[in-house]
Amino acid sequence: MKATRRIGTAILLVVIMSASLTLISGGTAFADTHSSHGSCMGFEASALSPPGSSDEAPGGMPDLHAFFATNFPGVPQGAFISFIAHLHEGSHADCDEAIE
């Protein structure tokens, strides 16, 4: 009887601790296009997606990749994407200005 009670108590403690950690550690993610924490690559991808939603690149992200391939042949696209992703300017307009 004591062993069964210990096992039941242990299981209850595990369930309570798991539920507590799940509820306490969960942060909030906002889909805010004016977040100062967003990367410039995120702002750019958001502005170009879905395809057809932007006059800047009607084909969406594939147009951006084609732009890099056409204008910078032989340079890995990842170099540009990494550079842009490391910028955190606070808005799409500020990112465009920083990149130019």
pLDDT tens per residue across span 39-79: 888 888 888 888 888 888 888 888 888 888 898 888 888 88
User: Is the Cβ–Cβ distance between 57 and 63 less than 8 Å?
Assistant: yes
pLDDT tens-digit map of 2-45: 777 778 787 877 777 777 666 665 555 444 555 567 888 888 88
**Token representation of residue 80:** 């540009």
Domain residue ranges of the chain, discontinuous segments joined by +: 40-99
User: Is the Cβ–Cβ distance between 87 and 95 less than 8 Å?
Assistant: yes
Cα separation of the two ends of the chain: 74
**Percent residues over pLDDT 70 in the chain:** 81
What pTM, to 2 d.p., does this model score?
0.56
| Closest CA relative to residue 85, chosen from 23, 44, 40 | 40
